[in-house]
Amino acid sequence: MCVHTRPTDSLNRRLRFAPPQPQDEPLFINESDVAVFEAIHRHGHLPSHYLFAFRGTENFRSFQARLTQLFNGASNTGPLLTRPQEQYESFQARYQYLVYDLHKSAERLLEERGKLSEFLHRGDHFVHRLMGACVGASIELACREKGLRYIPRHEVLSRNGKAMRLPLSQFSPRKALVPDELFGIDYNGAYRFFACEWDRNTEPLTRKANDQIDFAKKLACYVEVMRNRTYKDEWGIPGMMVLIVTTNHTRAESILAQVQGLDQRIAERFALKVVPQFATPWRMPSILTDILDPWVTVAGKFDITKSAP
């Protein structure tokens, strides 16, 4: 039997950033592994401690070893997970949890099981996507804790077979509105639906040039789809709130000030939360256990755990 030599450093420690080292022994995929694949497919690339919460095993160290096995792959499967290279550009890359994404082999496995959705394609910048994945996963995990059912994007969109975009009029700053995320919450038979924006404070709130992206133009797009109820025609949902996650309180106050200039009934449908870990330079967050705590709106606090009256 051929034995692969793992690359190590001068102290004979396995290199954290080494490429996959496939093993000759067969690798058998279990349902817990599939749960990990589904969580990544649902939210985007996630760090190991988030994936551990979805898998539900009782030993984190053995779970890390299993992720390494899935990353290295074997003769009968090839690699099943990847480690996005962009994570190594972080200042704390050597000391924080590893981030995993799906290899094509895992996508094929999900497809064979009927669990691969065409409505979950993501192609954002690494940190922006990681921010959305961590926030979305934290919301799903927090919903589970409170006995609420998280309704993922693909379940919302697949009912009507529509893409993750809302058409806009010719007078709008854009041709279509594409939220960063879309999900719902089932409150034991009552429902709310949320479009999400992940804001890392990397673009100005306003720009003079009409052809450049800024938050004010995005806000105008949301106002249009709310007034026209485009989300109902396209996605078949009865209502929609917009959740905005940004990285500092000053930025949140500036966004809120812009929202306050809108019609009150529309303005109250925007809610904000601050997650400072994804500012520049970013750092890996713990699971955001307080993510369902009241969000800030122009009308005060909004409790995401309660259904609409």
Q: What is the pLDDT of residues 115-134, one digit of tens each?
A: 999 888 777 789 999 999 99
Q: pLDDT band for position 8 (50/70/90)? A: low
Helix and strand element counts for the chain (H, E): 10, 12
Lowest mean pLDDT among 20-34, 180-194, 210-224, 261-275: 210-224
Mean local confidence (pLDDT), 17-27: 79
Q: Which of 101, 116, 131 is the last residue of a domain?
A: 116
Place of tokens 């064979």: 112
* CATH number assigned to the domain comprising residue 57: 1.10.10
Of 73, 95, 116, the last residue of a domain is 116
User: Which two three-digit tokens encode residue 42?
Assistant: 């649902």
Residues 104 and 56 occupy one common structural domain? yes
Model pLDDT, residue 2: 42
pLDDT the model gives residue 192:
97
Structural domain includes residue 12: no
Q: Identify whether 94 is part of a domain.
A: yes
**83 and 169 inside one domain:** no
CA dihedral 252, 244, 177, 215 (to 10 degrees): 10
**pLDDT digit string (tens) for 282-291?**
999 999 999 9
pLDDT digits (tens, 9 = 90+) for 67-79: 999 999 988 889 9
Residue 67 identity (one-letter amino acid): L
For residue 42, what pLDDT is reported?
96
What is the number of structural domains in the chain? 2
- What band does 4 get if pLDDT is binned at 50, 70 and 90? very low
For the chain, give the mean pLDDT.
89
Beta strand extents in 136-278 (DSSP E only): 149-151, 166-167, 176-177, 181-187, 190-198, 241-246, 270-274
Q: Model's pTM, two decimal places?
A: 0.90
- 190 and 272 assigned to the same domain: yes
Whether 146 and 289 map to the same domain: the answer is yes
Q: Which of 116, 147, 171 is the last residue of a domain?
A: 116
Kindly state whether residues 261 and 152 are assigned to the same domain: yes
Q: Confirm whether 38 is domain-assigned.
A: yes
The pLDDT tens digits for 240-284 are 999 999 999 999 999 999 999 999 999 999 999 999 999 988 999
Task: Based on the fold, state whether residues 278 and 129 are members of the same structural domain.
Answer: yes
CA 182 to chain centre: 10
**Beta strands, E only, the chain:** 46-47, 81-82, 99-102, 149-151, 166-167, 176-177, 181-187, 190-198, 241-246, 270-274, 295-297, 300-302
Q: Is the pLDDT of residue 15 over 80?
A: no
Say if residue 110 is in the same domain as residue 132. Answer: no
pLDDT-derived band at 10, boundaries 50, 70, 90 = low
Structural domain includes residue 8: no
> Does 243 share its domain with 136?
yes
Q: How far apart are CA 238 and CA 143, in angstroms?
A: 21
Identify whether 48 is part of a domain.
yes
Instruction: Note whether 97 and 246 are same-domain residues.
Output: no
Residue 10 lies in a domain: no
CA 197 to CA 180: how far, in whole Å?
A: 5
pLDDT beyond 70 at 225: yes
Do 214 and 284 have their domain in common? yes
Q: What are the tens digits of pLDDT across the range 94-105?
A: 889 999 999 999
In a domain, 254, yes or no: yes
Query: What range does the domain containing 43 cover?
Result: 31-116
**Averaged pLDDT for residues 54-71:** 89
Residue 136: in which H helix or E strand, if any?
A: helix 126-145
Weakest mean pLDDT among 205-209, 223-227, 232-236: 205-209
Q: Are 171 and 221 members of one domain?
A: yes
Q: Are strands 190-198 and 241-246 parallel, antiparallel or unpaired?
A: parallel
| Contact (CB, 8 A) for 304 and 184 | no
Does one domain contain both 132 and 270? yes
